[in-house]
Amino acid sequence: MIKQVGNKLLRREDKELLCIEPWGKNALRVRATQLDSFKDDEIYSALLEPAESQAEIKIDGQRAEITNGKIRCEIMSTGKLRFYNQKNELLLEEYDRNRMRGNVEEEFNSALEIDPRTFEPHRGTDNFRLTVRFEACDDEKIYGMGQYQHPYLNLKGCIVELAQRNSQASVPFAVSNKGYGMLWNNPAVGKVTFGKNLTEWIAYSTKQMDYWITAGDTPAEIVEAYADATGKVPMMPDWATGFWQCKLRYQTQYEIMEVAKEYKRRGLPISVIVVDFFHWPNQGDWKFDRRYWPDPAKMVRELKEMGIEVMVSIWPTVEQDSENYEEMRRLGYLVRSEAGKRLGQLGNACFVDMTNPDARAYVWNKIKENYYDCGIRIFWLDEAEPEFTDYEYDHYRYHLGSVLEVGNLYPKLYARMAYEGMTAEGQENVINLLRCAWAGSQRYGALVWSGDIDSSFRSLRNQLVAGLNMGLAGIPWWTTDIGGFHGGNIHCDKFKEVLVRWFQFGAFCPVFRLHGFREPVKEPIGKTGGGMMPSGADNEVWTYGEEVYEICKKYMEIREKIRPYIKTLMQEAHEKGTPVMRPLFYEFPEDEKAWEIEDQYMFGSDMLVCPILYEGMREREVYLPVGNWRNINDNKIYEGGRVVTCPAPMDAIPVFVREGTLEML
């Protein structure tokens, strides 16, 4: 039975309840369940409440349609769904392979008996393994979905895990070249296959199907509608657009102050310096080990006087020796194991349950007392997946439910913990660094970095794709460990080449941040607390010799010159959700060639960046879209709409700006 209830279209057929309703401009929310009703949006949904919109609904017997602006959904008599744009072009349709039911000529007549939406019950529970199927199109290109460690910008033909891992962030919003965007609005662990014969979304344990779909004439219109639906980043503070110095790890207050002073002595621009992990006595203490950091408030004050902000690493791990472990255990603030001891979720520690609002408040109070009250205004919220040992998702349980059912929420709620604490103190323009995200994380000031990646050109290629797809998935604040995290020896010439090319790329990323666990490793400086942890080799721009230093200095100066331009890009991200890094097709959607380019990108609308992604490369081909473009390396003007070959010596990568713009370069 199909009926209209207010602005919603409802269909009850045997066990399934289906609901389709307008949700923002040119968008629909689609839900289905085999329970008696839909579950709490606080748990399941990334969507904000939309402004009221009036849909047009038509019902004709067992068929119906609902139209909201540029998108229309048809419900066939079988329950199959089809989505069209305002031009009556088919955007997406469900995959239905059943025998003909009634006299519906346009439906498949198939003996396969495959339904578009399948709920397989986990017996004795209210949860199901959910599968939702859509028809595949040969000429479709699919982008977004977050951050994955592969080299594919176009995800057509890929299987994508819907789960959080170190260096992987599942943000399940897909942008199609057919003119639609779709959010899989479900935090369950699962996977999606963008196959040649079938698109198939799977949630391993959930109570309902929930997705949001929008139609738009351009990728920008689609991404902006998604940002309206899930939220936008705050305005990035001006200092955050500069250079961030970081390494694994500064071991003492004295060491970090000496590094900061050396940057200033050399006249190098620096905005942020980072106190990394194990500056604490024990995991879960959330305070400085005063044996090595004797006066944090003085350190913060002196660095601010130099114009440098301090970022401090926070881990959501609690070990048994922590002064807070027993109290948190009694209060139920720690992630539970389905069987056996909870300790050992990561090393000899367990995780704070960030899905519990009381646990979030408890941790923030510790952070405020021991860091915020010292003047620290930016935090590195590490281990945001969280990084469960072997990622045994079915072995852990949160306050809101099993990790299989709600696990992808963790990084979003972790970001929310700090954001709400900081804004309650009156802070504006909040930004915090996290290693993971889910849909909606951006509205809590999440700057996502791409995790503990290796130091190689292969890894660099993966990061370029990851950053572009993260932007399309609604996370415009994104960065990497320049040079990669693992495996870079500061004396190795091959690594120095990787570092240089990565540094050049990093200068044109939303956040410009040097980090890494460099070799050879430094020994621990003590036998207790924070002193027990080793450190990596030096990782400052002067560490790698004079040639590397001069190149780094050059690109630090370029970054300083374009900071006013970057501020305008951050304003766009704040107001419209616009990615800072953009595939060429975002700016040139009518250019078929732009949809094929995966190794260069737009940094805002006026700058075309062409990174060097392979060892030994000293020139590369560049596709210039229509218009006139100036190469900032030689100031020559090139006519667009063609491919040109550009030199790329070690001290330069090809970067073009639209003629008449960015004249400071």
- CB count in 10 Å sphere of residue 243: 23
| Cβ proximity of 382 and 166 under 8 Å | no
Of 115, 382, 383, 560, which is the active-site residue?
Answer: 382
Given this model, what pLDDT does residue 446 score?
98
At 213, the amino acid letter reads I
Judge if 2-230 and 583-658 fold alike in CATH terms: yes
Q: Coil, helix or strand for 617?
A: coil
Q: Coil, helix or strand for 232?
A: coil
385 classed as catalytic: yes
Of 238, 452, 598, 659, which is the active-site residue?
Answer: 452
394 classed as catalytic: no
452 classed as catalytic: yes
Q: Specify whether the backbone of 124 is left (phi greater than 0), alpha (psi in -120 to 50) or beta.
A: left
Given this model, what pLDDT does residue 440 score?
98
Residues 6+ apart with CB under 8 A from 36: 17
Q: Among candidates 400, 372, 384, 248, which has minimal Cα distance to 310?
A: 372
Distance (Å, whole) CA 597 – CA 516: 29
pTM of the model: 0.97
- CB count in 10 Å sphere of residue 112: 10
| Cβ proximity of 44 and 412 under 8 Å | no
Residue with tokens 């001891």: 341
Low-confidence ranges of the chain (pLDDT < 50): 102-103, 105
Residue 530 phi, psi (nearest 5): -65, -15
Given CA atoms 314, 319, 323, 325 in this order, what sign does their dihedral have? positive
Q: Among candidates 347, 434, 359, 364, which has minimal Cα distance to 398?
A: 359
Helices (H), 493-601: 493-506, 546-561, 563-576, 584-587
Given this model, what pLDDT does residue 353 score?
98
Structure tokens at 534: 């080793």
Q: Coil, helix or strand for 596?
A: helix
Of 385, 587, 599, 606, which is the active-site residue?
Answer: 385
Q: What is the CATH number of domain 2-230?
A: 2.60.40.1760
Q: What is the CATH number of domain 238-576?
A: 3.20.20.80
Edge-to-edge strand list for the sheet holding 446-449:
478-479, 446-449, 432-434, 378-381, 309-314, 272-275, 243-245, 512-514
Q: Where are the domains of the chain?
A: 2-230, 238-576, 583-658
Given this model, what pLDDT does residue 193 score?
98
At 333, the amino acid letter reads Y
Q: Coil, helix or strand for 350?
A: strand
Given this model, what pLDDT does residue 54 score?
85
Given this model, what pLDDT does residue 102 score?
47
Q: What is the CATH number of domain 583-658?
A: 2.60.40.1180
